[in-house]
Amino acid sequence: MKPSHLFLIVALGVSTAATAQPDARFNVQLFRPSGAPQDLVVVQQSRPLSHLSVSAGPYLSYSLNPLSLIPEGGDLSKINLVGNRLQLDVMATVGLFDWAEVGVDMPLILAQGGANLEVIGTEGSVESFVLGDLRLTGKVAIPGLRRPAEGKGWGGAVTLNVSFPTGAQDAFAGDGELTWAPGLVLDYRFENGILLALNGGFWKRPDRVFSGVSVGDMMPFGVGAEVPILRGSGVTAVGMVHGAVGLQKQPDEPRQIPAEALFGLRWYSSTGLTFTFGGGMGCGCSIASPSLSFFTSILWIPAKTREWEALERFKEPPEPPPPPIDPDGDGVIGESDACPDVAGPVANMGCPDTDKDGDGVVDRLDRCPDQPAGRRGKDGCPLARRDGNRIVILEQLNFATDQDIILSESFPILEEVARVMNENTEADRVHIEGHTDSRASDAYNLDLSRRRAASVMRFLVESGVAAERLCSQGFGRSRPLADNATEEGMALNRRVDFTIQPPSDGPRPPCPEDAEDKKRKRPTKKAPATPKAKSKAPASAPKP
């Protein structure tokens, strides 16, 4: 009795036409292996074969009940249209430029059998010993995600499979048309050799309706792992889940998701042969999910080729890291590193440089670490700054020789002095003191220092400092800082100092008078007139 409706293995109900046509048949083979030795059987990893390296060999697979239907009602036994299949995939792959690989897979159905096909409109069982669809494969590494065989980290590649209609469609060994499937591979290799891989893509297939079930475009997927067991001997375990999600279905029809889980062992031998064997089971989520599967393969790589060398390097366990003599990698080793966990320059004993005042000059080079240098500063110090009761200038003021004319190179310094005074309004009186070295006479140096101090005062007033906050006074050569016997000492003695006077509670006191002012104001007795004596003055005084 012919059933009018058929179910999936898991009792998913589908309707069927009693007289389905042979051209509705499709390729039921779910196991489509990859020919590279480090690919995870049916889940690809991202690394292409080394340049001009060749991999070739057979994949032998056996699937139980790859195409089964169950009549509606469940009273009749399962109908195994294809009850078993033994398939041989002869594969070859070649690497190109370490960036890509291309391969070919010629499937051959060695034997298959099943129930009488009268339920789908023909007599007899499925044909045995037929060709499958010839498949061309390609893989290209993604720039920035190309990882060597022994390397760790992320890897990525794009893939493309193209199948030609060479298979026997009546024997469920071909799709009858050209099909193609672009895909994406993303994986990660850990330092211990464990590999995790994820595959996804799109599979363009002809639209079919087989016994009321839609078969057409699909989205293949796969996730797999390889775990070294005896890495030095090249023994690993592989596991994967792969399948495809049907993109088309009829109303009230469950979606077809053929999938299976596979596990196996692999041995990368030093002869260039890679042996893999294992098995698994299907999920029962489709009419084309086998209940059991077994596979074995022998892939050969010629010895002493670049790919053989890459696999031999993969078998070598990683060397343990050296002891951390310089944990932060800053070049300061052992006890010499004051900050062993944070990198820093050698000049700072391995500690990071700091900049407390934020002026861009690190503290170890900053002569004024607590004061920002400003845009005109030098060595981390501003051109002028307050230090207690003094305004300190970074460089001495320069005047024209034997004159009280301030040279333009000193203008920025005095502008900074004016800024400091305007920022420190509580300093209500600043005493500008002029000093010289010991060259020339006392009278000459005193007069020159007084005039130069007065010039500085005028400049500050013109720069916005209130005149009543300033006093100027000359001291000549009476207050040296260093020995005038040396050029260095005389250079230090030729200076202008800025002294902040203590604040006064009442009105500001008058500016102090220098000795020459007092002398001019002192009352004196009028001496009798005497004839003027001619005196010979020097033509010029020495430079102060």
pLDDT tens by residue, 91-121: 999 999 999 999 999 999 999 999 888 888 7
Residue 196 has pLDDT above 90, yes or no: yes
Give the model confidence (pLDDT) of 295-327 as tens digits. 999 999 998 888 898 888 888 877 776 666 777
Residue 16 has pLDDT above 50, yes or no: no
- pLDDT at 152 exceeding the cut of 50: yes
- Nearest Cα residue to 183 out of 166, 165, 162: 162
Cβ-Cβ contacts under 8 Å for 11 (sequence gap 6 or more): 70, 74
Query: Looking at the predicted structure, is the pLDDT value of residue 294 above 90?
Result: yes
Please give the helix or strand (H or E) that residue 519 lies within, else none.
helix 515-521
Provide the pLDDT for residue 517.
Answer: 52
Residues near 459 by Cβ (< 8 Å), separated by ≥ 6? 406, 411, 414
53-315 sits in which CATH class? mainly beta
What is the tens place of the pLDDT at every residue in 482-497? 898 898 889 888 899 9
- pLDDT score, position 2: 34
- Tally of CB atoms within 10 A around 200: 13
pLDDT one-digit tens code per residue, 340-390: 777 778 777 778 777 777 676 777 777 777 677 666 666 678 778 888 899
Locate the DSSP E strands across 247-405.
259-268, 273-282, 292-300, 384-387, 390-393
Residue 230 in tokens: 């005896």
Helix (H, G, I), strand (E, B) or coil at 106: strand
pTM: 0.56
Residue 58 predicted with pLDDT over 90: yes
- pLDDT higher at 512 or 439: 439
Q: Is 37 left (phi over 0), alpha (psi -120 to 50) or beta?
A: alpha
| Domain extent listing, the chain | 53-315, 329-374, 383-504
Helix axes 411-423, 442-462, angle to 10 degrees: 60
What DSSP designation does 501 have? Answer: P
pLDDT, the chain, mean:
83
Contacts of residue 190, defined as CB under 8 A and 6 or more positions apart, other chains included, come to 152
pLDDT at 321: 66
Tell me how far apart the alpha carbons of residues 69 and 7 are, in angstroms, rounded to a whole number.
6
**What mean pLDDT comes out for the span 51-59?**
94
Q: What is the pLDDT of residues 524-544, one digit of tens each?
A: 444 444 444 333 333 333 444
Helix ranges (H only) for 345-486 are 411-423, 442-462
Query: pLDDT tens digit string along 431-455?
Result: 999 999 988 898 999 999 999 999 9
Q: Quick one: 383-504 is in which CATH superfamily? A: OmpA-like domain (3.30.1330.60)
**pLDDT score, position 316:** 84
Average pLDDT of the residues in 251-255: 84
Q: Is the pLDDT higher at 381 or at 193?
A: 193
